Amino acid sequence: MAPPTQLDELTHARIAIRRCRAALPARAKENQRSGLSRSTSLPIHPDAKLSDVLHEFDRDMLRRVVCDLYRGQAVRLMQRVADAFGWERVADITRANAVEWLARLAEQGRAGSTTNDNLKKFVMFGKFLVQGGYVTTTPFGGIQRARVVSGPGMRPIALDEFRTLISWLGSRGTWQTRKRARYYTLAFLTGLRHNELRGLIVSDVQGVDLVIRAAVSKSRKTQHVPLCAATRELLAVQSRGKQPTDALFNPVPRRETLVLDCERAGIDTTGIGMHSLRKGYATALDQAGVPMGSVAKLLRHTNPQISLTHYIRPDDRAKIEAVARVATALCGDDETRSPPRPARTPGLGAVPAGVCD
């Protein structure tokens, strides 16, 4: 325990700090915390080229952000917005363009978490502009966050739909479609998130495990994903001729690409997105009779209730079969029995033909 004299000194120091903070105007304290404005006496550079500014923004994010993937997303977003609205200098950046960009996302049905994530990146870039001396106040201040309404979200891709998709991609016979087929198959057989797949490098494949580094993991922790023999074969084909530090997939398919592939394959695209592959993996595990605790561990969820509530969605056939089994157990009526389920070929652990070519 510290002596009484030391305690008195610490107490006086804390009181002095509180008095200094209380002496600041309320607006100045808010700006000091948020970094939204700076003194106008400092030099500003509104005519700086945006390409140079984005390069400095990338370096600043590299110093402050742990996740390399999020850093890349923020810089690429600002570059896409600059290309869309013709930003060439810092003076060209306007709040109206940012609002219009977010409105476009809302028109595409992505108003919610995606809009708020884009807004967060806008705010980060605005703080950088202020702290870097390019502007006096952030150009993105006062934009309201979207209200996230909980809904059904993306639906899982059924096993039959996934086979149809991979079969159609294989029939095209081009290296682009074969590469996309491998990407979709890896996502469906491992349950990896889209961002985790984007951050994979060749050295992440270690024997029977796939290592998700902390820099790309959602939990910011290193995680290990078990690989079946078919998935290891797929990764061996994808890694062929690459260095250990090379990305496994570069470039990676976007959501729009998956939706277009599903549409051309004759699959209903309602509620389809990259997360549909992960949800399809969870649903396939549940239909295969895997215990819920194991499903949660394979999905790397800390709470199994998340897997049950948001990921596993049995189709109508599974519901009918479940009701029929209960009726048969109670009544022994053969008429209530559902027809036998067709053989699953290939199974969850098998890669459709043509993927590893």
pLDDT tens, residue by residue, 181-233? 999 999 999 999 888 888 899 999 988 888 888 878 888 888 889 998 889 99
Query: Coil, helix or strand for 224?
Result: strand
| Residue 32 in this model has a pLDDT that exceeds 50 | no
> Comparing C-alpha atoms, which of 357, 320, 354, 318 is closest to residue 159?
318
> Comparing C-alpha atoms, which of 189, 153, 172 is closest to residue 275?
153
| Residue 303 in this model has a pLDDT that exceeds 60 | yes
Query: Coil, helix or strand for 223?
Result: strand
Average pLDDT, the chain: 78
Name the residue ranges covered by the structural domains of the chain.
45-144, 160-273
Query: Coil, helix or strand for 273?
Result: coil
Q: What is the pLDDT of residue 198?
A: 86
**Close Cβ partners of 94 (under 8 Å, ≥ 6 residues apart):** 85, 139
Taking the whole predicted model, whether its pTM rises above 0.75 is answered as no
- Quick one: fold of 160-273? hpI Integrase; Chain A (1.10.443)
| Average pLDDT rounded to a whole number, residues 16-33 | 49
Q: What is the pLDDT of residue 164?
A: 95
Q: Does domain 45-144 bear CATH number 1.10.150?
A: yes
